[in-house]
């Protein structure tokens, strides 16, 4: 009898699977975000912005990189809605668009720690 129950649940899952896969548009947006996370400079920027809003100059100084390089990476992150900006006096400060971004990074870090503990 348990075998029949498994088969029934499995068939339900297969039926729901096709309906639960996101649209190609949503999948493309997801892929683009993961591509953004695939660049170490952008990851460093995101981790810095997780601490506090920063200007381009402050990020450049913190990461020991040129302002033009940081500006280029910030424009990519902004296009993907990962960061936003606001003028504060003469400077524009960038911040994470929302906490979902840092949640992804924390879960990734937990995954790495968990894998390290498996050995």
pTM value is 0.81
Statement: residue 119 has pLDDT above 70: no
CATH architecture of the domain with range 38-117: Orthogonal Bundle (1.10)
Statement: residue 44 has pLDDT above 90: yes
> pLDDT, tens digit, for every residue of 20-32?
999 999 999 999 9
DSSP 53: -
> pLDDT, tens digit, for every residue of 45-71?
999 999 999 999 999 999 999 999 999
Query: What is the distance between the alpha carbons of residues 102 and 119, in angstroms, rounded to a whole number?
Result: 27
pLDDT at 18: 82
Domain boundary assignment for the chain: 38-117
């Amino acid at each position: 009898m348990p075998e029949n129950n498994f088969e029934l649940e499995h068939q339900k899952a297969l039926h729901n699977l096709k309906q639960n896969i996101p649209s190609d548009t949503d999948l493309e947006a997801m892929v683009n975000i993961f591509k953004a996370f695939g660049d170490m400079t952008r990851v460093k920027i995101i981790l810095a912005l997780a601490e506090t809003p920063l200007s381009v100059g402050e990020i450049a100084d913190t990461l020991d990189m040129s302002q033009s390089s940081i500006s280029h990476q910030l424009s990519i992150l902004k296009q993907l809605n990962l960061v936003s900006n606001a003028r504060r006096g003469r400077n524009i400060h960038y911040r994470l668009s929302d906490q979902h971004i840092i949640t992804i990074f924390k879960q990734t870090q937990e995954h790495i720690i968990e894998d390290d503990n498996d050995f």
